């Protein structure tokens, strides 16, 4: 049995999903797309239920990739039941998608989630009345606390078993329904089979809206020419009569219906503002929101520095004390091969322990908490004015904030921006944002050995460069900045299951991909040092490392490896240094310059690849070369001028 969870963004769909399925889930891209689907399996009375969490969407209009994937997953995979999760505190807007789902004729259960938020805001939607108006079962839930989730799940199973289709058809205005009826008759008369097994009324409405995907599917059926021609004619008649395109008129009718149903089934009372509502005002006001945002960012850095630094000290100290000496002794008996193994495995694992868990894990955990609380959109809201200075709007803050975790999905998230100009500027600036791997390099070198003050200086330099580069690009590239409309979810307490799930799914990519690459890189360095081949690489590039940047000549190896995996720059620095005590290998100024250069140039080969795919290879090369030259320029200036007096 397949159960599809469908809903708009920020309605608690993920919380509902995790309450049902637990932690054992599968994340995969929908075939032929980069849109991710999350899937879990549940045993119910001896039968397996496949629960698919579809991407958050606002309609089935198939304008965006997410909408097209959600609709394709429903129409092509034909789930046994659709569980439509709606926000009880924002019912009118959510019901627009609900009505589109009901039109498809599938078995549907409506989950009236975040019911506690609605009550706290003085709204009490009546589930029984809503069920009567929609013609499908409705269950109120509070998914973050697990309240009524099991009841909703069991009810969905019953709906699936009964194959209970919606009992009512929600009608639009009389003039529209007459046109829909005419086209429905034409469809039944001229089409020998109905595409996608849709109700004829639904197919008629979709064709009147000018749905390109549905029109393409219909065009493959014999006899479709007359139907499509009639649909275009009727759509023009609607446009002439109402003075607006047929798609707009249908949307208005749906919104009016949603508003009417919401008003009829909801009672209201005046209540005092809740703590969440007061916090909402504080975090979205420029006067208080900016200081709060700075405090959150500073708190994140201090958490990384102190929690990450403590974990690094424990893990690396334990490795150096209890395991490393034994490995060194064992490898020492194998001659030059043992030397290569000691550098590659012993020092390589020490470097991984200094990077992976202490800083990357702590960052992903903290970032997942910020996501789950609903704070990130508020950060974007208060940054909107500042972002206009660099040719972007506040919506670009969300992918840029994601860049602090990993630049690859952050660049992909620029698809939400409306113009190619905005996507280029945003993509360029994202590559300069210190991702979790670069944060690990900064904190694992400068933060750990020199102190948090110098790590903050590096962040200040990078943020200054981001603003300068954005300002230049805004004036260099022609075009204007568009406005911002953004979803603002309610602030809420984070749920442990989704937080740890997000953290693990992000860490898994580092663990499964990065560790083998880092160990392989360490073994290559060990082999090069043992065979004497290191000089062939280090010597020709020494004017760059020792001359321009003032670093040890051998530092070129981790710098070059940083193009493959950014955290590898620190891991391999430990390998070439032959010790995890980097302050014995480099001076404070050298450690600072090394971390600064690594933090500025283009993050890794995966980011370059996704830049090429999203913005074109010419732009990807331009961004890569520009950030590399900028890193050399800034690193060289800091070494030769030494403005910090290190």
Q: Are residues 83 and 191 in the same domain?
A: no
Q: What are phi and psi of 234, to 5 degrees?
A: -65, -35
Query: Looking at 78-87, 118-127, 431-440, which range is the least confident one?
Result: 431-440
CA distance 67 to 634: 44
Q: What is the pLDDT of residue 579?
A: 78
Residue 63 pLDDT grade (very low, low, confident, very high; cuts 50, 70, 90) = low
276 part of a folded domain: no
CA distance 287 to 550: 44
Q: Are 324 and 342 in contact (CB under 8 A)?
A: no
Mean pLDDT, to the nearest integer, of 226-241? 93
- Mean pLDDT, the chain, rounded, equals 84
**Contacts with 618 (C-beta within 8 Å, 6 or more apart), sequence order:** none
Q: Are residues 463 and 590 in the same domain?
A: yes
Residue 481 pLDDT grade (very low, low, confident, very high; cuts 50, 70, 90) = low
Q: Are residues 523 and 415 in the same domain?
A: yes
Q: What is the pLDDT of residue 240?
A: 93
Last residue of a domain, one of 268, 298, 324: 268
Q: Are residues 248 and 324 in the same domain?
A: no
Query: Looking at 133-137, 204-208, 580-584, which range is the least confident one?
Result: 580-584
Q: Which of 12, 5, 65, 6 is nearest to 415 (CA)?
A: 65
Q: Are residues 455 and 388 in the same domain?
A: yes
Mean pLDDT, to the nearest integer, of 69-97? 91
Structural domain for 605, as ranges:
283-481+497-641
Query: Higher pLDDT residue, 91 or 372?
Result: 91
Does residue 415 register a pLDDT over 60? yes
492 part of a folded domain: no
Share of the chain above pLDDT 70, in %: 91
CATH classification at residue 47: 3.40.50.300
Last residue of a domain, one of 106, 136, 162: 162
Most confident of 10-14, 437-441, 475-479, 486-490: 10-14
646 part of a folded domain: no
CATH classification at residue 193: 1.10.287.1770
Q: What is the pLDDT of residue 202?
A: 92
Q: Are residues 207 and 314 in the same domain?
A: no
Residues in the chain: 646
Mean pLDDT, to the nearest integer, of 76-93? 92
Q: Is the dihedral of CA 545, 550, 554, 560 positive or negative?
A: negative
CA distance 110 to 138: 5
564 part of a folded domain: yes
275 part of a folded domain: no
Does residue 81 register a pLDDT over 90? yes
Q: Are residues 256 and 360 in the same domain?
A: no
Q: Which of 161, 115, 119, 156 is nearest to 137 (CA)?
A: 156
Give the tokens for residue 532: 């004497």
489 part of a folded domain: no
Q: Which of 557, 560, 565 is nearest to 604 (CA)?
A: 565
Q: Are residues 245 and 208 in the same domain?
A: yes
CA–CA–CA angle 238, 240, 244 (5° rounding): 75
Share of the chain above pLDDT 90, in %: 31
What is the number of domains present in the chain?
Answer: 3
Give the tokens for residue 101: 């789902």
Give the tokens for residue 198: 């849709």
Q: What are 333-386's pLDDT values in tens digits? A: 888 788 778 877 887 787 777 766 777 788 888 888 888 888 877 887 887 777
Mean pLDDT, to the nearest integer, of 619-634? 92
Mean pLDDT, to the nearest integer, of 54-63? 80
pTM for this model (two decimals): 0.71
Residue 443 pLDDT grade (very low, low, confident, very high; cuts 50, 70, 90) = confident
b (16+ CB within 10 A) / e for 368-406: bbbbbbbbbbbbbbbbbeebeebbbbbbbbbbbbbbbbb
Q: What is the pLDDT of residue 188?
A: 92
Q: Are residues 184 and 158 in the same domain?
A: no
CA distance 369 to 271: 29
Mean pLDDT, to the nearest integer, of 425-433? 88
Last residue of a domain, one of 142, 162, 182: 162
Q: Are residues 222 and 330 in the same domain?
A: no
Q: Are 192 and 221 in contact (CB under 8 A)?
A: yes
Q: Are residues 331 and 373 in the same domain?
A: yes
Helix axes 200-208 and 246-265, enclosed angle (nearest 10)? 120
Q: Are 108 and 102 in contact (CB under 8 A)?
A: yes
Q: What are 519-532's pLDDT values in tens digits? A: 777 777 778 767 76
Q: What are 482-519's pLDDT values in tens digits? A: 565 666 777 888 878 778 877 887 777 667 766 777 67
256 part of a folded domain: yes
Q: What are 532-579's pLDDT values in tens digits? A: 676 777 788 888 888 999 998 888 888 887 777 777 787 778 877 877
Q: What is the pLDDT of residue 10?
A: 81
CA distances from 280 to 375, 427, 436, 494 (A): 9, 30, 28, 16
Other Cβ atoms less than 10 A from the Cβ of 452: the count is 17
Q: What is the pLDDT of residue 447?
A: 84
Query: Looking at 94-108, 505-519, 602-616, which range is the least confident one?
Result: 505-519
Most confident of 77-86, 289-298, 301-310, 344-353: 77-86
Q: Are 33 and 73 in contact (CB under 8 A)?
A: no
Does residue 73 register a pLDDT over 70? yes
Q: What is the pLDDT of residue 305?
A: 78
Q: Are residues 337 and 383 in the same domain?
A: yes
Mean pLDDT, to the nearest integer, of 322-326? 89
191 part of a folded domain: yes
Q: What is the pLDDT of residue 239?
A: 93
Q: What is the pLDDT of residue 434?
A: 86
């Amino acid at each position: 049995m397949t159960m599809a969870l469908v809903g708009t963004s920020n309605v608690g769909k993920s919380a509902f999903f995790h309450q049902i399925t637990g932690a054992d889930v599968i994340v995969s891209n929908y075939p032929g797309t980069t849109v991710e689907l999350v899937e879990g399996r549940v045993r119910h009375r001896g039968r397996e239920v496949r629960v698919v969490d579809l991407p958050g969407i606002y309609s089935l209009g198939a304008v965006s990739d997410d909408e097209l994937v959600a609709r394709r997953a429903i129409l092509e995979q034909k789930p046994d039941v659709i569980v439509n999760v709606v926000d009880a505190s924002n019912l009118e807007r959510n019901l627009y998608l609900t009505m589109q789902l009901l039109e498809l004729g599938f078995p549907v259960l409506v989950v009236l989630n975040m019911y506690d938020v609605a009550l706290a805001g003085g709204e009490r939607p009546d589930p029984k009345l809503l069920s009567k108006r929609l013609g499908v079962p409705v269950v109120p839930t509070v998914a973050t606390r697990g309240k009524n989730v099991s009841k909703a799940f069991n009810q969905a199973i019953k709906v699936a078993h009964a194959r209970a289709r919606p009992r009512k058809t929600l009608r639009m205005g009389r003039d529209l329904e007459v046109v829909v009826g005419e086209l429905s008759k034409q469809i039944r008369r001229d089409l020998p089979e109905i595409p996608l097994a849709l109700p004829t009324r639904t197919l008629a409405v979709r064709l009147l809206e000018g749905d390109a995907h549905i029109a393409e599917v219909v065009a493959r059926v014999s006899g479709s020419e007359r139907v499509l021609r009639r649909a275009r004619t009727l759509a023009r008649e609607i446009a002439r009569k109402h003075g607006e395109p047929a798609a707009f008129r249908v949307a208005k009718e749906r919104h009016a219906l949603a508003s009417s149903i919401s008003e009829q089934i909801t009672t209201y009372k005046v209540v005092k503002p809740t703590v969440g509502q007061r916090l909402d005002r504080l975090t979205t006001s420029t006067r208080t929101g900016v200081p709060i945002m700075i405090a959150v960012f500073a708190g994140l850095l201090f958490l990384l520095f102190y929690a990450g630094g403590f974990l690094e000290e424990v893990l690396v100290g334990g490795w150096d004390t209890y395991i490393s000496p034994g490995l060194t002794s064992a490898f020492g008996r194998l001659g030059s091969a043992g030397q290569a193994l000691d550098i590659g495995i012993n020092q390589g694992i020490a470097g991984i322990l200094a990077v992976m868990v202490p800083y990357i894990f702590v960052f992903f955990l903290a970032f997942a908490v910020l996501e789950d609380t609903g704070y990130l959109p508020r950060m974007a809201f208060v940054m909107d004015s500042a972002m206009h200075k660099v040719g972007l709007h506040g919506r670009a803050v969300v992918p840029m904030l994601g860049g602090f975790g990993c630049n690859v999905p952050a660049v992909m998230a620029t698809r939400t921006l409306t113009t190619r100009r905005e996507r280029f500027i945003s993509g360029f600036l994202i590559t300069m944002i210190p991702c979790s791997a670069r944060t690990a390099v900064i904190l694992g070198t400068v933060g750990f050995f020199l102190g948090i003050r110098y790590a903050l200086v590096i962040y200040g330099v990078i943020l200054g460069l981001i603003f300068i580069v954005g300002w230049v690009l805004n004036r260099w590239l022609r075009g204007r900045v568009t406005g911002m409309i953004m979803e603002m979810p309610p602030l809420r307490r984070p749920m442990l299951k989704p937080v740890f799930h997000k953290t693990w799914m992000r860490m898994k990519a580092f663990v499964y991909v990065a560790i083998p690459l880092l160990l392989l890189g360490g073994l290559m360095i060990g082999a090069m040092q043992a065979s004497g081949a290191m000089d062939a690489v280090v010597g020709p590039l020494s004017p760059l490392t020792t001359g321009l940047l003032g670093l040890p000549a051998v530092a070129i190896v981790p710098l070059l490896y940083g193009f493959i995996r950014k955290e590898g720059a620190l891991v391999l620095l430990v390998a070439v240094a032959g010790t995890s005590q980097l302050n014995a290998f480099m001076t404070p100024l050298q450690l600072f310059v090394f971390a600064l250069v690594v933090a500025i140039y283009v993050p890794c080969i995966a980011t370059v690849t996704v830049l090429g795919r999203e913005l074109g290879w010419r732009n990807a090369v331009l961004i890569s070369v520009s950030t590399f030259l900028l890193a050399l320029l800034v690193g060289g200036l800091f070494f030769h001028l030494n403005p910090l007096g290190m």
